[in-house]
Amino acid sequence: MRLIESIAPFYILLLLLEVIYTRLRKQDYYFYEDSLADLSLGVLSRIFDGMILLGLVFVYNELYKISWGITFLSKIFLSTSSPFHWILLFILLDFLFYWAHRYSHEIKVLWASHVVHHSSEEFNLSVALRQSFVRNIGIGLFYLPLSLLGFPVESYLIIDALNRTYQFWVHTRTIKKLNKWFEFIFVTPSHHRVHHAMNPEYIDRNYGGVFIIWDRIFGTFCEEKQEPRYGLVSQLNTYDPVKAELHVFRDLFGDLWKTKYKWQGIRSFFSYPSVRPDDLQSILDRGVRDPKIWLNHNKWDIDRKSRLPQYRRKVGTSIDRVYLLISFLIPTAFTLYFLKRMHLYSLGETISVFFLLVFSFVSLGRLLEGERNWFRFEIPKYISWLVLLGYFFL
């Protein structure tokens, strides 16, 4: 976690350079409200990541302890001082990422946590930071076999951070296709633009993190042939980060509540994202479990939606947009401060700060939607911050 935070300034620098570059070239690749939503989701994910990662590291270490036989062999043949240790771990982790990423698109409950990363209709470096607050659960569970193979948790965390860092730069439209040999082996911006597209021919393609070879081997590769339309089959049409985080979870539990076929409702949690109980599904798609059949049935409608105007809604005047930036920067600064000192606080203090940080981004979501709930959100938020500042610093 500390490694990701150390790299974060590098991410922000590249993002700012891309903003300046695209503005100079008059390329309309960024939209202010959308980018604030992206960055807010990135901060929210870091708030939750700390606690989730602690649990994953504990489980990883426990599994590492019971793999004493393999661990003994790894100390002889795969010592951390050996370059082969790091090369093999880098390849294995990316292989596991491919499957974790693929299943995050093919299993609805995993898609519910991953969908936030795809819900922007823009595609730029800020979208790379648009992550789910429970991302580490879905992805981290797929990495646990590395512990049984004898790779210590420190090695895993370093390689995971490097894997994520590589994935950051491929979220751009400013880089076109690269050399053929590089495009054949590695994931490039061209490949990842396809992955983020909602055009029918691009859906469920190019899952690789660093190596595109996995997609070529397992039949999920698709080359970029036309400019993609980014986002979801049913676009979110909101900049509210909390709605972006929770809308598929809401749909899942809503279907389970409304359907009279409860077993189908439970099964849909572990089915392809388009699968719903029969009494809530369209007549054409009732009983359809094969994503290719569903896509064939809905291809015309998806293609029609890909031609609709992009959702871009400016929230208020320039002064309003400055206030949005302030409303983002204050909880972000407190988040960074809190995460570095979380171990110094009591459980009650941690929960209080945690609640207020989340509440601040809920409030920002209302502002990004153009709402001005001063008495419900803004005034209580600032009073709470003042109370908390007084408690910790006075």
Per DSSP, the residues of 307-364 read TSPP-----S-HHHHHHHHHHHHHHHHHHHHHHHHGGGS-HHHHHHHHHHHHHHHHHH
89-124: per-residue pLDDT in tens? 999 999 999 999 999 999 999 999 999 999 999 999
Yes or no: say if 289 and 273 are a contact pair by the CB < 8 Å rule. Answer: no
CB 322 within 8 A of CB 366: no
Q: Which of 77-86, 240-249, 279-288 has the highest mean pLDDT?
A: 240-249
Domain residue limits at 371? 318-393
Would you say residue 313 lies in a domain? no
Percent residues over pLDDT 90 in the chain:
61
Q: Quick one: 343 and 211 in the same domain?
A: no
pLDDT at 65: 82
Last residue of a domain, one of 257, 281, 307: 307
Evaluate whether residue 46 is within a structural domain.
Answer: yes
Q: For residue 68, what pLDDT band results from cuts at 50, 70 and 90?
A: low
The DSSP letter of residue 139 is: H
CB 86 within 8 A of CB 159: yes
User: Taking the CA of residue 2 as centre, how many other CA atoms within 13 Å lie in the half-sphere pointing to its CB?
Assistant: 4
329 and 275 in a common domain: no
Question: Mean per-residue pLDDT for 330-354?
Answer: 84
Q: What is the pLDDT of residue 150?
A: 83
pLDDT higher than 70, residue 69:
no
Q: Pick 364 or 373 by higher pLDDT.
A: 364
340 and 303 within one domain: no
Span 334-345, mean pLDDT? 81
* Structure tokens given for 75: 């100390």
pLDDT at 376: 82
d(CA 146, CA 93) in angstroms, rounded, equals 8
pLDDT of residue 148: 86
Specify the 3-state DSSP secondary structure of 230: strand
Q: What is the pTM of this model?
A: 0.92
Per-residue pLDDT band at 160 (split at 50, 70, 90): very high
> What are the b/e assignments for 289-326, b being 16+ CB within 10 Å?
eebeebbeebeeebeebbeeeebeeebeeeeeeeebee
- From residue 40, alpha-carbon distances to 27, 172, 183, 317 in Å are 24, 19, 32, 21
Q: Are residues 179 and 75 located together in one domain of the fold?
A: yes
More confident residue, 70 or 217: 217
Nearest to 80 by CA among 27, 12, 19, 156: 156
pLDDT score of 123? 97
- Choosing from 187, 218, 249, the residue where a domain stops is 218
Average pLDDT, rounded, for the chain: 90
203's CB contacts (< 8 A; 6+ apart) are 197, 233, 295, 302
Examine residue 235 and state whether it is found in any structural domain, yes or no.
no
pLDDT at 285: 87
Residues 181 and 78 both lie in one domain: yes
CA distances from 116 to 30, 43, 211 (A): 18, 13, 23
Question: Cα–Cα distance between 96 and 388 in angstroms, integer?
Answer: 42
Contact 237, 370 (CB under 8 A): no
φ/ψ of 83, rounded to 5, equals: -60, -30
Of the three residues 261, 285, 307, the one that is the final residue of a domain is 307
Among 104, 95, 106, 96, CA closest to 132: 104
> Are 137 and 286 contained in the same domain?
no
| Secondary structure of residue 392 in the 3-state scheme | helix
- Write down the residue that tokens 């708030």 correspond to: 47
Mark whether 144 and 41 lie in a shared domain: yes
Which pLDDT score is estimated for 71?
A: 60
Mean pLDDT, residues 360-367 taken together: 91
Q: In this predicted structure, what is the pLDDT of residue 20?
A: 96
pLDDT (mean) for 348-368: 88
Q: Is the pLDDT of residue 242 over 80?
A: yes
pLDDT above 60 for 73:
no
Report whether pLDDT(59) > 70.
Answer: yes
The residues pairing with 211 across neighbouring beta strands, listed in sequence order, are 186
- Sequence length of the chain is 394
What pLDDT shows up at residue 15? 94
Counted domains in the chain: 3
The answer to whether 43 and 331 are in contact (CB under 8 A) is yes
* Range 152-174 average pLDDT: 94
Statement to judge: residues 302 and 199 lie in one domain: no
Q: Can you tell me the mean pLDDT for 69-81?
A: 62
